[in-house]
C-alpha cells in the first residue's frame, strides 16, 4: 500500500498524538505520534513515531517524496517544500477555522472573510456535483476561485496593520498570509482539494478511540496499530466492509501464505469484487 501511495501526484498529510506506556517507568506514559499520508478518497497509510520531528516523515518517504503534499502548514511539512523535496498545498479549512474562532473580536471583518472562503468551498462543491475533474477543473478554478482568493489577500493585507498581532484575529491573518502561496496552489493542481479535511477525518476514529483505551501498551505496539488503521481506514474510503475484508484476507492467507501482497490490499480486494460482479452480470 505504501509503494502504491508513493506513486501518487499528491498526498495529504496530518498527525495526532498518542499516549504510549513507558516500559521503563511504571505508571508513566510518553507522547508518541500517528501520521497519516493518503491519496484523497483512495488509500491511506499511517505511520507511528515516538516524536513529532521531521525524522518521521523523512524515514517514511525515504527520498520518494510526492510532487505535491497537502497539509495544515505544520513546519515539518513546510520545510520539505523549502528544501525542494515537494511542493506544499495549503488547507482552506484550517485558515477558515482560525477566523471562525476569532469572529467575536471583530465580527464584521471576520464574517466578510468567512463569507469569501465559503464561496470557494461552494465552487468546489458544485464542481464535484457536476463531476468536473482534471483539465476542466483547473480551467474552472482560475476563472471562478482565483479572483476571490486575491480579494481575500487584499482584505488581509489591508487589515493586518490595524490588528494586534497576538490577538486571535491577528493570528488568523498571520497564518493565512504566511501560507498564502500554498493556499492558492490548489487552483492549479487537479488532484488537490480545497482542504485537508479528508486526511484530518482519517484520524477521527483514533482520536475518539483513545478517549476509551487511553494509551498503547508498548512502543512496539505502535507500528502494529498503524498497520491495522491503514487497512481499516482504506477500506472505509473505498467502500469495502472492513470486517468482511479482514476475514477474507486472513482466510486466504491461511490457505496460501505466499500470496502476493499487492493482490490483498483493500484496493485490490475492491477491484476484484467489482470485476466478479461485472462478470456475473455479463454471464447472467
Q: Judge whether 278 lies within some domain.
A: yes
- In 3D space, the residue among 122, 117, 186, 189 whose CA is nearest the CA of residue 153 turns out to be 117
Q: Are 183 and 220 contained in the same domain?
A: no
Query: Can you give the pLDDT at residue 284?
Result: 60
Residues 38 and 102 in one domain: no
pLDDT of res. 244: 94
pLDDT > 90? residue 277: no
182/104 same-domain check: yes
pTM comes to: 0.91
Confidence of residue 185 (pLDDT cuts 50, 70, 90): very high
For residues 103 and 133, membership in a common domain is answered with: yes
Within this chain, do residues 108 and 157 fall inside the same structural domain, yes or no? Answer: yes
The C-alpha torsion from 243 through 248 and 249 to 253, rounded to 10°, is: 140
For 89, phi then psi, to 5°, come to -120, 130
- What percent of the chain has pLDDT above 90? 84
- Whole-angstrom distance, CA of residue 187 vs CA of residue 146: 7
pLDDT at 260: 87
Q: Are residues 20 and 84 in the same domain?
A: yes
Q: What is the mean pLDDT of residues 89-93?
A: 97
Q: What is the tens place of the pLDDT at every residue in 143-174?
A: 999 999 999 999 999 999 999 999 999 999 99
What per-residue confidence (pLDDT) applies to 158? 97
Do 59 and 78 lie in a common domain?
yes
**Mean pLDDT of all residues in 204-221:** 90
Look at residue 6 and give its three-state secondary structure.
coil
pLDDT for residue 282: 83
Instruction: Answer yes or no: is pLDDT of 283 > 80.
Output: no
Condensed to tens digits (0 to 9), the pLDDT of residues 54-73 reads 999 999 999 999 999 999 98
Q: What is the mean pLDDT of residues 211-222?
A: 90
Q: What angle do CA 41, 47, 53 make, to 5 degrees?
A: 120
**pLDDT tens-digit map of 3-51:** 999 999 999 999 999 999 988 878 899 999 999 999 999 999 999 999 8
The residue-averaged pLDDT of 240-255 equals 94
Pair (82, 202) in one structural domain: yes
What is the spatial distance between Cα 176 and Cα 91, in angstroms, rounded to a whole number? Answer: 10
Mean pLDDT score, 95-117: 96
Q: Is residue 37 exposed (0-12), middle (13-18) or buried (19+ Cβ within 10 Å)?
A: buried
Same domain flag for 203 and 247 = no
In a domain? residue 78: yes
Amino acid at each position: 500500500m505504501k509503494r502504491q501511495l508513493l506513486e501518487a501526484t499528491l498526498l495529504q498529510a496530518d498527525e495526532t498524538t498518542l499516549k504510549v506506556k513507558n516500559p521503563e517507568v511504571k505508571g508513566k506514559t510518553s507522547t508518541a505520534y500517528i501520521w497519516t499520508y493518503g491519496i484523497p478518497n483512495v488509500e491511506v497509510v499511517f505511520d507511528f513515531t515516538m516524536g513529532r520531528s521531521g525524522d518521521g516523515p523523512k524515514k517514511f518517504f525515504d527520498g520518494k517524496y510526492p510532487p505535491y503534499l497537502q497539509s495544515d502548514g505544520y513546519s515539518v511539512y513546510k520545510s520539505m517544500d523549502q528544501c525542494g523535496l515537494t511542493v506544499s498545498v495549503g488547507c482552506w479549512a484550517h485558515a477558515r477555522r482560525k477566523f471562525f474562532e476569532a469572529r467575536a473580536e471583530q465580527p464584521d471583518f471576520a464574517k466578510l472573510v468567512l463569507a469569501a472562503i465559503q464561496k470557494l468551498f461552494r465552487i468546489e462543491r458544485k464542481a464535484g456535483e457536476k463531476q468536473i475533474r482534471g483539465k476542466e477543473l483547473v480551467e474552472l478554478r482560475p476563472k471562478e476561485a482565483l479572483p476571490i482568493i486575491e480579494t481575500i489577500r487584499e482584505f488581509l493585507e489591508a487589515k493586518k496593520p490595524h490588528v494586534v498581532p497576538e490577538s486571535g484575529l491577528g493570528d488568523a491573518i498571520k497564518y493565512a498570509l504566511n501560507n498564502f502561496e500554498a493556499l492558492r496552489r490548489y487552483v492549479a493542481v487537479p488532484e488537490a482539494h480545497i482542504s485537508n479535511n479528508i486526511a484530518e477525518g482519517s484520524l477521527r476514529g483514533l482520536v475518539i478511540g483513545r478517549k476509551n483505551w487511553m494509551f498503547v501498551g508498548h512502543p512496539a505496539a505502535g507500528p502494529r496499530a498503524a498497520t491495522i488503521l491503514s487497512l481499516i481506514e482504506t477500506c472505509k474510503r473505498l467502500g469495502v466492509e472492513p470486517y468482511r475484508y479482514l476475514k477474507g484476507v486472513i482466510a486466504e492467507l491461511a490457505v496460501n501464505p505466499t500470496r502476493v501482497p499487492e493482490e490483498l490490499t483493500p484496493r485490490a480486494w475492491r477491484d476484484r469484487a467489482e470485476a466478479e460482479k461485472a462478470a456475473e452480470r455479463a454471464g447472467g
